[in-house]
Amino acid sequence: MPTTPGQFPWATFVTNVAGCFLIGVLMVFVPRAHRLVRPFVGVGILGGFTTFSTYAVEFDGLLRTGHAGLGFAYLAGTLAAAMVAVTLGSVVTRALT
């Protein structure tokens, strides 16, 4: 989903946070799975699902178009939300299993 310059890139934000939640879920199941599951699912599938390269490009675009405040909010907000999502994913999965 394209983002209008100067607006918060919600599609990328939601995609990255959802992918981080799934990484948290994966970490609960990894000890029980084959040793190659972690790199295959974590780096391969979820790495392809998340789009942190787009996140970096969108941050750069916000800076270049004079929206530094929004850019840094996006930068910090994505990192904070991603960390919370990984933690939440693992906590919820542990509670359900």
Please tell me which residue, 46 or 88, carries the higher pLDDT value.
Answer: 88
**CA–CA dist 79, 88 (Å, integer):** 14
Q: What is each CA distance from 37 to 15, 16, 29, 40, 78, in whole angstroms?
A: 22, 20, 9, 5, 26
Owning domain of residue 60: 10-96
The domain total for the chain is: 1
Is 50 annotated among the ligand-binding residues? yes
Domain assignment present for residue 4? The answer is no
Domain assignment present for residue 2? The answer is no
What's the distance, Cα to Cα, between the start and end of the chain in Å?
35
Diameter over CA atoms, the chain? 48
Q: What is each CA distance from 74 to 21, 92, 96, in whole angstroms?
A: 18, 26, 32
Domain assignment present for residue 16? The answer is yes
Mean pLDDT, residues 60-88 taken together? 96
Domain assignment present for residue 3? The answer is no
Domain assignment present for residue 73? The answer is yes
Domain assignment present for residue 5? The answer is no
Is 89 annotated among the ligand-binding residues? no
**For residue range 7-55, what is the model confidence (pLDDT) as tens digits?**
999 999 999 999 999 999 988 888 777 888 888 888 888 888 888 889 9
